[in-house]
A and B are shown apart, each in its own frame.
Chain A
């Protein structure tokens, strides 16, 4: 039986960034799902059962903090590792993200796509 591909859910509203990360993770043999807004995230986690969620904070309609808050109440989903990947870089914002249950909080502009891949690999192992 073939090993199941590692699956990642990218939640990000900036189309070009999505395209870039998607391309980079697919190169590393990940299966990539995308949500452009916070609203569909819970459904996507339930449906696709990703191994990790890459969650942006500043998004229209429903932001990442709201997603984290909702995930907290969902016992069935809260095992999924959440990596907040946001350009909100103030201490209080980072603390807020971690307090709301994020496993890691990375400041987006400090990571290149390659560095991001290697951080994700550290958390859930290589997809290859």
Chain B
């Protein structure tokens, strides 16, 4: 017959096995992680404490009972200590223990645990209890040390968890919440069944169920630690389960009574082993595929977000010049204007049409997933003219702004013409105008004071254009992404929320495609930036390697 004691033994055994298995699952998932190690030790100590707890209610030998009771509070100290350690380490991969931990907390726990084993805690057993109940003991002053240590450790552990939870980023907070809920449920159960009921109502029958009460903290902490690798649990559980099956079957082989049985059972064991290997491999494959899938999903979400942002920015960038053109037509039609005013409106409208074409190219590039490179058609051309044109355009625009608004930032402009006329350059003017315009736009947009300086140089076979500002500068980290497609630094976003992150990307593509280069130099935050554009000098590129040679001769 199945008695109550058996059901209890069963549930305690089951809960304890679950605790140990979860401890190992977490550990094996990432053996080098300090958090996982701390969790394994914590779950093992919890299981030992639960076992001692249960045993203390089952033993009938007086001496043994005294020592089992002592071991209960001994493990209780370490249980609390490793709870503290777990929260101390979580969620880090590597543990850094402070001096306070090494020289105060650990020695204190060590001392308290020695006290629990000495007669200073449990002196003797006053009244022996029947099986299933807790005996009455004669307690010494050591119990106070035990009580204080345990309470302090639990308070310190909770404070540690709350402190880390508050400092955690929002996606990490969920992890802490699971652990917090688990801890609260487990300790509420302890307080109710191991403290309030026994002390206030004299009901001690639940103490031996401690293992069941420990489950919430273990299960929820397992979930929190494995949150980013939950699928891995499937692999490890399959491994553990199949290992257990094969081992059981193997033990049966050893216990066989005759040769026939042994041969039959060996056959079964080998079959089980084969199935286990197959099962493990297929589970592993499935999990790996699912991991790839979830990674792709995240990537897709990020890409969609970028496209959505781009589409909003694109919409805005197209509407802005349209507003000027539409407004300009309205003004030309309905307002009394001087000749000069009419001319200005027409000039502005022309300028906006060009800009629209510009942004259209930029965004068609940005939106196209198949984009490989821009179409650059170089020819022998004067570079200085193009630079001068873009420089003048920006200079005039800024000066006009400064005149209109006395509070507007007062940037200076310096144009350093080359000392000797620049030799002809092999480049595609339309495309390079895009680079120059973008660089000048940026110099103005990301500077509050100082000078925008344009200068030239020649380096071997390359013409160099430098655009220098005294603006917000570029950090080494920002340098890594500054030319990436649709990527912008946090500082850039903060300063101007509606940039597309396409301008410099496209500029770099054009420079590379022109067999030149585009780079940025900066001494850091607030120290200004210098963009350096290199383009190849004309060295008869159009005459090399084709029939053109004959024509030029």
Distance of B120 from chain A, by nearest CB (Å): 64
Asked whether A16 lies within 8 Å of B316 as measured between CB atoms, the reply is no
Residue of chain A at shortest CB distance from B349: A16
Complex Cα gap A71–B108 (Å): 58
Asked whether B319 lies within 8 Å of A107 as measured between CB atoms, the reply is yes
Interface residues of A in 95-117 (CB under 8 A from B): 107-109, 112-115
Interface residues of B in 291-334 (CB under 8 A from A): 312, 315-316, 319-320, 322-324, 326-331, 334
Cβ contacts under 8 Å, A18 to chain B: 404
Name B319's contact: one of A19, A24, A89, A112 (CB within 8 Å): A89
Cβ contacts under 8 Å, B496 to chain A: 60
A88 is an interface residue with CB less than 8 A from chain B: yes
Name A109's contact: one of B323, B329, B397 (CB within 8 Å): B323
Asked whether A16 lies within 8 Å of B348 as measured between CB atoms, the reply is yes
Cβ contacts under 8 Å, B131 to chain A: none
Name B405's contact: one of A17, A34, A88, A108 (CB within 8 Å): A34
B350 is an interface residue with CB less than 8 A from chain A: no
B188 is an interface residue with CB less than 8 A from chain A: no
B407 is an interface residue with CB less than 8 A from chain A: yes
Asked whether B405 lies within 8 Å of A90 as measured between CB atoms, the reply is no
Distance of B309 from chain A, by nearest CB (Å): 10
Complex Cα gap A18–B331 (Å): 13
A-B interface pairs (CB < 8 A), number: 74
Q: Give the A interface residue count (CB, 8 A).
A: 29
Cβ contacts under 8 Å, B331 to chain A: 20, 23-24, 113
Cβ contacts under 8 Å, B407 to chain A: 36, 40
Asked whether B316 lies within 8 Å of A89 as measured between CB atoms, the reply is yes
Cβ contacts under 8 Å, B498 to chain A: 58
Residue of chain A at shortest CB distance from B397: A15
Distance of A19 from chain B, by nearest CB (Å): 8
B172 is an interface residue with CB less than 8 A from chain A: no
A27 is an interface residue with CB less than 8 A from chain B: yes
B495 is an interface residue with CB less than 8 A from chain A: yes
Asked whether A17 lies within 8 Å of B316 as measured between CB atoms, the reply is no
Cβ contacts under 8 Å, B404 to chain A: 15, 18-19, 34, 36
Name the interface size band of chain B: 20 to 34
Q: Among the interface residues B316, B336, B496, which one has the most CB atoms of the partner chain A within 10 A?
A: B316
B289 is an interface residue with CB less than 8 A from chain A: no
Residue of chain A at shortest CB distance from B347: A16
Q: Mark B385-401, 1 if CB is under 8 A from A, else 0.
A: 00000000000010011
B335 is an interface residue with CB less than 8 A from chain A: yes
B445 is an interface residue with CB less than 8 A from chain A: yes
Known: A107-B319, A108-B323. A113 touches B405 (CB 8 A): no
Asked whether A90 lies within 8 Å of B323 as measured between CB atoms, the reply is no
Name B316's contact: one of A24, A34, A87, A115 (CB within 8 Å): A87
Known: A20-B327, A109-B326. A15 touches B312 (CB 8 A): no
A51 is an interface residue with CB less than 8 A from chain B: no
Cβ contacts under 8 Å, B341 to chain A: 23
Asked whether B335 lies within 8 Å of A23 as measured between CB atoms, the reply is yes
Cβ contacts under 8 Å, A115 to chain B: 330
Complex Cα gap A16–B404 (Å): 10
Residue of chain A at shortest CB distance from B398: A15
Q: Mark A1-30, 1 if CB is under 8 A from B, else 0.
A: 000000000000011111111011001000
Cβ contacts under 8 Å, A93 to chain B: 312
Known: A15-B400, A88-B316, A89-B316. A36 touches B322 (CB 8 A): no
Residue of chain B at shortest CB distance from A40: B407
Cβ contacts under 8 Å, B104 to chain A: none
Asked whether A109 lies within 8 Å of B312 as measured between CB atoms, the reply is no
B367 is an interface residue with CB less than 8 A from chain A: no
Name A14's contact: one of B320, B405, B497 (CB within 8 Å): B320
Cβ contacts under 8 Å, A109 to chain B: 319-320, 322-323, 326
B408 is an interface residue with CB less than 8 A from chain A: yes
Name B320's contact: one of A20, A34, A63, A87 (CB within 8 Å): A87
Distance of A13 from chain B, by nearest CB (Å): 9
Q: Mark B480-522, 1 if CB is under 8 A from A, else 0.
A: 0000000000000001111000000000000000000000000
Asked whether A112 lies within 8 Å of B330 as measured between CB atoms, the reply is yes
Asked whether B408 lies within 8 Å of A36 as measured between CB atoms, the reply is yes
Cβ contacts under 8 Å, A27 to chain B: 335-336
Distance of B30 from chain A, by nearest CB (Å): 41
Interface residues of A in 35-93 (CB under 8 A from B): 36, 40, 58, 60, 63, 87-90, 93
Binding site for B on A (CB under 8 A): 14-21, 23-24, 27, 34, 36, 40, 58, 60, 63, 87-90, 93, 107-109, 112-115
- 14 other A-B residue contacts (CB within 8 Å) besides A34-B404, A58-B316: A14-B324, A15-B404, A16-B324, A19-B404, A20-B331, A21-B327, A27-B335, A40-B407, A58-B498, A60-B445, A109-B319, A112-B326, A112-B327, A113-B330
Sample of 26 A–B contacts (CB below 8 Å): A16-B348, A17-B324, A17-B327, A20-B328, A21-B327, A23-B331, A23-B341, A24-B335, A27-B335, A27-B336, A36-B405, A36-B407, A60-B445, A87-B316, A87-B323, A88-B315, A89-B316, A90-B312, A93-B312, A107-B319, A108-B319, A108-B320, A108-B323, A109-B326, A112-B326, A113-B330
